């Protein structure tokens, strides 16, 4: 992702009917403490210490969606 920041991802949902979307865009990788703090807070509902976050060797990918396409079951109603 550092060499080519173009990304896509797919989201599917199936309850009674199927619906899905494919999203295309670019990703920005961040490794700062504030990005890690926001990620952990959203994911786990926790506020870890700055020391813990500074030792966390990871990147947080922020995706800017540029295009979306989708499909759904023929009998799906909005």
Residue 50 lies in a domain: yes
Residue 78 lies in a domain: no
Residue 27 lies in a domain: yes
Please name the residue that has the structure tokens 């990620």.
Answer: 39
Residue 12 lies in a domain: yes
Please name the residue that has the structure tokens 């990703």.
Answer: 27
pLDDT in tens, 21-34: 999 999 999 999 99
pLDDT in tens, 62-78: 999 999 998 877 776 66
Q: What pTM did the predictor assign?
A: 0.69
The torsion angles phi and psi of 66, rounded to 5 degrees, stand at -110, -25
The torsion angles phi and psi of 9, rounded to 5 degrees, stand at -150, 160
Domain membership of residue 16 as a residue range: 6-72
**Domain total for the chain?**
1
Residue 28 lies in a domain: yes
Residue 1 lies in a domain: no
């Amino acid at each position: 992702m550092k060499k080519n920041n173009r990304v896509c991802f797919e989201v599917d949902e199936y309850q009674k009917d199927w619906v899905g979307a494919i999203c295309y865009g670019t990703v920005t990788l961040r490794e700062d403490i504030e990005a890690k703090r926001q990620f952990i807070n959203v994911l786990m509902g926790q506020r870890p210490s700055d020391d813990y976050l500074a030792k966390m060797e990871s990147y947080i990918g922020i995706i800017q969606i540029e295009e979306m396409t989708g499909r759904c079951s023929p009998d799906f109603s909005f």
